[in-house]
Structure 1
Amino acid sequence: MLRRAGAFAAPRQPSHFMPERNDPDAVLASKWSKWTERESYKRQELVLHLFIHDTDASIALQKPPLITFTEIKFDLPASRDLWLAKSATSWRDLYLKSQPPTAPPPSLMEAMHSPESLVQHTPQIDIQLTTLTLLHGFWGQIHSLLDSKKFYPSHKATHRLCLLTSHTELYRDLVSFSSFISPASHRTILISHLLMMILHAPPEDLQRFAGKSGEDEARKT
């Protein structure tokens, strides 16, 4: 339903939704209402939380994710202070106090490939939710890589070389991104290390080694 409703690809917040110091009360209330409605699609168990939950389930069950990171095309979630503002006036004051930079916040995909861009936007975005979402965004590529390794037999040297290169680059990107996470919560640290581990020791191999498929299969691992 969310996909068909276009919630995954909502456009950036229009500039005329942003508050100004001289906005009349009615205009300010209207802007706040529209802003919170758009922001709510990213939060409150909707797109981002649904994406994170789907990714966690995919990792745990070792099944393909239902939501791909590349289809989430809106800008980053706003800071918790802005989201939890009790009134339109408080929302305006917090927004103006944060002194947003000239450039708009990047999209999730842009932030994934340029994590340094998060630094200048930290006062305006929910950095914890953003970094957690971006980390989960790596899983789709990791799952695809692991699936490709099953598809191509070991004697397909050209394909295996491509997969090895992809593995190296993906691990490097994950390590590089993880170094930009600040402040890092216990959950983001755990997810980061889990994804790094999976790249080197896929859960299916670990389960087979532990005897899930029988003693004979465990010996082959």
Structure 2
Amino acid sequence: MKKNLFVLSFLGVLFSYHVASAAITRIEIPFSQKNVTLSPGSWFKFECTVWDNEEGQKLNVPLTWVIEDVGGFETTLPGWIDETGFFRADSYFLGRFKVVVTEPVSHLRDEANVQITQNPPYPYEIFRIEVFPNTLNLTRGSSAYLNIHCYNGYGERVFNYTLRYYLRDMFGRLTPSFVRIDPPGIIYASSWMPQGSYTLYFEDVNGSARTTVQLNVW
């Protein structure tokens, strides 16, 4: 009997340790959904990733989704949102508000800024460019891979885009094109490229969206 009690006690300790080791430490709405523009009566599916203290993603974690005004008060005027993050905009509301997600046990939360307007952005108009990594170290004559993503005003990825790129040195001066970028994002540094720190600019040729990458060449 004592042996059985010891086994049960030991299993209980292991279970408690496992639960503690898998404690939720972070919840996160994707960066691409942090700023969303919608039209009246439209819908949008918000996502959220839950992380534990071992930096592993946890699936099927119940979350609470609510709508808050810009002052932080819960409201239903802009529309409604269900327990999965599915949002339906009101047909008459115009303005800004926040969509807030909370994990009830840890009370961790994250939020997205949303605007409903009568003149929503064109679905293929680029509002944001993301390039990863945003700091890159290369030796002359070497190459690396860049992840280049473009998003419209709804937070959706745009796959048909044209970007220009150019270099500035550490003093902000335009430099000759010592780098070449081939689809889908392979960057080559010329073997003649002077060593130093550069800023690599990416711009939408049809709009004002722009981002930069810090480039260090050795």
TM-score by length of 1: 0.25
Q: Give the number of the structure whose alpha-carbon radius of gyration is greater.
A: 2
Between Structure 1 and Structure 2, the one with more helix by share is 1
